[in-house]
């Protein structure tokens, strides 16, 4: 049957063959909601998985690494003052406060990737090789139902 030069059978066949595509997209987004990820994060987690397989991913505690770096900077400033003959207390400038994000979870983890597969230089004792995504906190994963509610309410 042909209406206006277009075959109804051809349009019907096209509709039937492309029908699985929106359902597959819907299923993929349900998976992302279940996993607590955005589409962008899905690609990033894939990159981290590759880095872990290559043995170049390292995980550490944010509080420990920040304390180590703060002490290292203070030590460098003291040495610089001593070499230049300056006296006085070591003054550490105030760090800016982090922007408040109304998300219910926080993590004390830092995940880094190195090019040579070795822990960050001078901080080797602070880092542990990360071998699996199970070792990493996903701060956006609230569980399937809470993630679904967050998506549907636009949070």
Rounded to an integer, the average pLDDT of 43-68 is 88
| pLDDT score of 24 | 95
* Structure confidence at residue 108 as a pLDDT band (50, 70, 90): confident
**Strand, coil or helix: what is 101?**
coil
Amino acid 66: pLDDT: 87
- The mean per-residue pLDDT over the stretch 2-22 comes to 81
Q: Give the dihedral sign, CA 61/48/24/154.
A: positive
| Cα-based distances in Å from 135 to 18, 52, 93, 117, 128 | 39, 11, 34, 18, 10
In sequence order, what are the residues at sequence separation of 6 or more whose Cβ sits closer than 8 angstroms to the Cβ of residue 43? Answer: none
Residue 49 has pLDDT above 70, yes or no: yes
Distance in angstroms (rounded) separating the CA atoms of residues 82 and 145: 59
| 125/102 Cα distance (integer angstroms) | 33
Extract the tokens encoding 54: 């290559």
Q: Which residue has the higher pLDDT, 72 or 85?
A: 72
Please state, in angstroms and rounded to a whole number, the distance separating the CA atoms of residues 134 and 155.
26
Going by pLDDT thresholds of 50, 70 and 90, the confidence category of residue 1 is low
d(CA 124, CA 63): 15
Strand, helix or coil at 3?
strand
pLDDT of res. 88:
53
């Amino acid at each position: 049957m042909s209406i206006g030069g277009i075959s109804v059978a051809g349009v019907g066949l096209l509709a039937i063959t492309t029908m699985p595509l929106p359902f597959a997209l819907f299923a993929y987004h349900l998976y992302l909601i279940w996993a607590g990820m955005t589409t962008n994060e899905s690609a990033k987690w894939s990159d981290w998985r590759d880095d872990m397989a290559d043995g170049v991913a390292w995980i550490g505690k944010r509080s420990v690494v920040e304390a180590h770096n703060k002490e290292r900077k203070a030590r460098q400033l003291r040495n610089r003052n001593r070499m230049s003959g300056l006296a006085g207390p070591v003054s550490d400038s105030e760090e800016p406060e982090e922007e408040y994000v109304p998300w219910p979870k926080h993590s004390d983890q830092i995940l880094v990737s190195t090019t040579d597969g070795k822990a960050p230089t001078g901080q080797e004792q602070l880092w542990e090789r990360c071998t699996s995504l199970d070792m990493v906190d996903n701060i956006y994963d609230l569980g399937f139902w809470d993630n679904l509610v967050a998506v549907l309410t636009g949070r």
